[in-house]
Copies of this chain bind each other. A is one copy, B any other.
């Protein structure tokens, strides 16, 4: 079970190993659609052909003192588009390069034909190529001021209006927002805040309640633990006991050397800070594997087998093993 349980979560990142990239097209071009693919011949199981476009967006949708614009990137694929029966599936980009998400959101590619759909993948401002202030975007709070979900949603609304105004036959085409994780929160909020722009939203693995005072602060980690508990006898308990074992072993110089060697660390563990960093990296590993615990072989964050947590748990069956 993946960490952010969503009905469609399992589908969302499927076919993650099919890497096919579109060619960048002229800036601000109207979205004249055609295929532009560079198939990953080694593991190709489907066609991921899109073209890259850009739209000028206001840096600030909610004030007028900052009246400059920036270029937002979006990817578009219309191989299956049919004017009279079609749909626009609009991916509300999350925190990363949009090409990465486009190539790891198999669900949209899988349903495109059935829905006669145009696929649109919109990049989130401040990520990938969509930098409001170019390479200065992250320099200070002043430049980062426009990195908010509200501004991102406004970008999406403007982009959809632009698409409908420029792609013939889409004026009355229904638009469905689709997103995963933080992008799934955006998809849900997009439907709430712009109900006239999208007729529905599919929020996959989206922790929309994951805020202080809405859910207990331990909820996330409890679900991670639950994943390991369900994936093998003694698995979760073995990991739980490992923290104290690491502490005991790290108590001696010889133990530290053993840890450094066994985990193939780049530099040997020496200080308390080193040890905290080491434990933190282990903790992150368990969390991230739980997050990509897909039922099929995939490579969203790293190449992994199907049900990676189960695979790990095969090696973690003896919680009572001595140090």
What is A's interface to B at a CB cutoff of 8 Å?
60-66, 141-142, 144-146, 148, 150-151, 192-193, 195-196
Rounded to whole angstroms, the CA-CA distance of A61 and B63 in the bound complex is 11
Complex: chain B residue closest to A192, CB-CB: B195
A145 neighbours in B (Cβ, 8 Å): 63-66
A150 neighbours in B (Cβ, 8 Å): 62
Counting chain B CB atoms within 10 Å of each CB, which of A63, A66, A144, A151 scores highest? A63
Rounded to whole angstroms, the CA-CA distance of A189 and B62 in the bound complex is 15
Q: Is the CB of A65 within 8 A of B151?
A: no
Q: Is the CB of A141 within 8 A of B65?
A: yes
Q: Is the CB of A63 within 8 A of B192?
A: no
Copies in the complex: 2
A62 neighbours in B (Cβ, 8 Å): 61-63, 148, 150-151
Counting chain B CB atoms within 10 Å of each CB, which of A142, A145, A151 scores highest? A145
* Across the A-B interface, the 8 shortest Cβ-Cβ residue pairs: A65-B145, A62-B62, A63-B145, A62-B150, A65-B141, A65-B142, A193-B193, A62-B148
Report which of B64, B141, B192, B193 forms a contact with A141, defined as CB distance below 8 A: B64
A195 neighbours in B (Cβ, 8 Å): 192, 195
Q: Is the CB of B193 within 8 A of A63?
A: no
Rounded to whole angstroms, the CA-CA distance of A148 and B141 in the bound complex is 22
Rounded to whole angstroms, the CA-CA distance of A148 and B145 in the bound complex is 17
Rounded to whole angstroms, the CA-CA distance of A273 and B66 in the bound complex is 36
> What are 22 A-to-B residue pairs whose CB atoms are below 8 Å?
A60-B63, A61-B62, A62-B62, A62-B63, A62-B148, A62-B150, A62-B151, A63-B145, A63-B146, A63-B148, A64-B141, A64-B145, A64-B148, A65-B141, A65-B142, A65-B144, A65-B145, A66-B145, A192-B195, A192-B196, A193-B193, A195-B195
Rounded to whole angstroms, the CA-CA distance of A254 and B201 in the bound complex is 71
Complex: chain B residue closest to A65, CB-CB: B145
A256: min CB distance to chain B, Å: 42
A63 neighbours in B (Cβ, 8 Å): 60, 62, 145-146, 148
Complex: chain B residue closest to A143, CB-CB: B65
Rounded to whole angstroms, the CA-CA distance of A151 and B60 in the bound complex is 13
A60 neighbours in B (Cβ, 8 Å): 63
Rounded to whole angstroms, the CA-CA distance of A192 and B64 in the bound complex is 23
